Amino acid sequence: MKATSCVILLLSFARTWAFAPSLAKGCSSVTALRMSSVAPKLDGWKDKPLYSPKETTPEPVRHVSWFERQMQGDIILDPDYSLAWMFLILGFAIVGYHPSYYEDGSLSLIGVCGGMFHMLFASLLWVQTRRVRCVFEKDGFEFYNIKGPSLDFAKGAYLDKKPDNYVAGTRNRWKYDTIINYGFFPSLQFPVICYFKETETPEEKWDKWFAAFDSYGRGQPHFFPGICNARQFRAEMEARGVNRKPIQTFKKKNQD
């Protein structure tokens, strides 16, 4: 009985070994597993290689010579009160429709304080929009304060230099050749925050305030609310050949 069992067991091993794939000479089973496991990482949705970020180099939309810049006149950008209006309307909406109100309809402290905060911020934006102007000059752009009667140029108002930048301690003027990027958040159509980065500020001051959160370094970033016409700002930057990093997009190259 034991002999019969041993014969059956040997026959089953032989049958299994006959169908097993043979390994090439000099190639172990561990090596075969390693070779089969090496494969490019694919997107689970489209079976395409995963996106890997690439370093982009700032470049102007159009190249402008020094002579062309000198021929362009000084431009004062128009003010844009859209952001002030938005926060004012949002403040009234919070006061009137905040969900923390009581069942009898009486006002809540949270709703009133939240709405008043937005209204005060709207007032600040309104004042800044009315008295601050962005001026594009021959070799750089600068922010000025309007001073004079009624802040009206027709009545004798004039542009006055702003105090030094409170973050970097430098003048609020930047040369076009030192700017390496600019943009608008969340978009050009709705510019809540305008941004640009420059290398004119001394490098030892690049890590102050908001610049400390810039993991790339390579320059001093600046942020200001969209109180000037963002479309004019972009148009002047492009017309004067200011560098900008290409914007990453999923659109095809033949699309606009």
57-94 pLDDT, tens digit per residue, is 888 888 888 889 889 999 999 999 999 999 999 999 99
Q: What is the pLDDT of residue 61?
A: 85
Q: What is the pLDDT of residue 62?
A: 85
Quick one: average pLDDT of 3-31? 49
Q: What percent of the chain has pLDDT over 90?
A: 42
Most confident of 42-46, 48-52, 84-88, 161-165: 84-88
pLDDT at 232 over 80: yes
pLDDT grade, residue 146 (50/70/90)?
A: very high
Quick one: average pLDDT of 127-155? 94
Give me the DSSP letters along 100-132.
T--TT----HHHHHHHHHHHHHHHHHHHHHHHE
Higher pLDDT among residues 216 and 2, named by residue:
216
What stretch of H or E contains 10?
helix 2-19
pLDDT grade, residue 39 (50/70/90)?
A: low
Quick one: average pLDDT of 127-146? 96
The Cα–Cα gap between 163 and 147 comes to 14
Q: Position of tokens 């076009």?
A: 176
Backbone angles phi, psi at 118, to 5 degrees: -65, -35
Q: What is the pLDDT of residue 24?
A: 46
Most confident of 57-66, 91-100, 145-154: 145-154
Q: What is the pLDDT of residue 36?
A: 44
pLDDT, averaged across the chain:
79
The Cα–Cα gap between 246 and 30 comes to 46
Q: What is the pLDDT of residue 52?
A: 59
pLDDT grade, residue 35 (50/70/90)?
A: very low
Q: What is the pLDDT of residue 95?
A: 87
Dmax (CA) for the chain in angstroms is 120
Q: What is the pLDDT of residue 127?
A: 96
Q: What is the pLDDT of residue 123?
A: 97
State the pTM of this model: 0.71
Q: Where are the alpha helices (DSSP H) in 20-81?
A: 29-37, 66-71
**Identity at 27, one-letter amino acid code:** C
Tokens of 3: 């002999």
Q: Which of 15-29, 165-179, 215-229 has the lowest mean pLDDT?
A: 15-29
Q: Which of 5-9, 49-53, 135-139, 210-214 has the lowest mean pLDDT?
A: 5-9
Q: What is the pLDDT of residue 27?
A: 46
Give strand pairing partners of 224: 194
